[in-house]
Amino acid sequence: MSILNLQFKGDHHLNLNTIAHELLKTYGWNDHWENAASQLSEKYRQLTPARVMAQHSHSYQIMTPDGEQTAVVSGKYEFQAQLRSDFPAVGDWVMTEPMPGEQRSIIHAMVPRRSAMIRRAAGGVMDDQVVGANMDYLFITSALNEDFNVRRIERYMITAWESGATPVILLTKADLCDEPVVYKNEVEAVAPGVPVHFVSALRDQGKEQLAPYMRPGATIAVTGSSGVGKSTLLNWLAGEEKQHTSGIRESDARGRHTTTHRELFLLPGGALVLDTPGMRELQLWDAQDGWEQAFSDIEELAAQCRYRDCKHNGTEPGCAVTAAIAEGTLDARRFSNYKKTERELAHLARKERATAKKHSKQAGGKSAGGKPAVAKARKSSRDYAEELD
Ligand SMILES: Nc1nc2c(ncn2[C@@H]2O[C@H](COP(=O)(O)OP(=O)(O)OP(=O)(O)O)[C@@H](O)[C@H]2O)c(=O)[nH]1
Ligand SMILES: [Zn+2]
DSSP 24-87: HHHTT--HHHHHHHHTS-HHHHTSEEEEEEEE-SS-EEEEETTEEEEEEE-HHHHHH--SGGGS
Q: How far is CA 290 from the centre of its chain?
A: 19
What's the CA-to-centroid distance between 41 and ligand 2, angstroms?
32
User: Does domain 3-112 correspond to CATH entry 2.40.50.140?
Assistant: yes
- Let me know: does 109 contact 81? Beta carbons within 8 Å: no
What band does 356 get if pLDDT is binned at 50, 70 and 90? low
170, 199 Cβ separation under 8 angstroms: yes
Whether 243 shows a pLDDT value over 60: the answer reads: no
Residue 388 pLDDT: 31
* Ligand 1, atom 17, residue with closest C-alpha: 229
Q: Among 3, 100, 88, 86, which Cα is nearest to 49's? A: 88
Which carries the bigger pLDDT value, residue 309 or residue 71? 71
Task: Spell out the domain ranges in the chain.
Answer: 3-112, 117-280, 291-388
202 ligand 1 Cβ < 6 A = yes
pLDDT in tens, 17-56: 455 688 999 999 999 999 999 999 999 999 999 999 999 8
Spatial neighbors of 125 by CB under 8 A, at least 6 apart, are 83, 297
Q: Where are the beta strands (DSSP E) in the chain?
A: 48-55, 60-64, 67-73, 93-98, 104-110, 116-119, 129-133, 137-143, 166-172, 196-198, 219-223, 248-251, 257-260, 264-266, 272-274
CA of residue 331 to ligand 2 center, whole Å = 15
CA-derived radius of gyration, the chain: 23
Taking residues 290-317, report their average pLDDT.
82
Closest ligand to C-alpha of residue 233 is 1
Decide whether any atom of ligand 1 lies within 6 Å of the 175 Cβ: yes
Q: Which residues pair with 44 in a beta bridge?
A: none
Establish whether residue 152 lines the binding site of ligand 1, counting it when its CB lies within 6 angstroms of any ligand atom. Answer: no
Q: Kindly state if the Cβ of 176 falls inside 6 Å of ligand 1.
A: yes
Of 301, 293, 270, nearest in space to 341 by CA: 293
Mean pLDDT value of segment 242-268: 56
Given a contact cutoff of 8 angstroms between Cβ atoms, the answer to whether 371 and 151 are in contact is: yes
* Residue 106, strand partner residues: 72, 97
Annotated binding residue at 322? no
| Maximum distance among all Cα pairs of the chain, rounded to whole angstroms | 78
Under a CB-based contact definition with an 8 Å cutoff, are residues 30 and 93 in contact?
A: no
Q: Which residue minimizes the CA distance to atom 9 of ligand 1?
A: 229
CATH of domain 117-280: 3.40.50.300
What percent helix, strand, coil does the chain show, rounded to 5?
40, 20, 40
What is the value of pTM for the model shown? Answer: 0.69
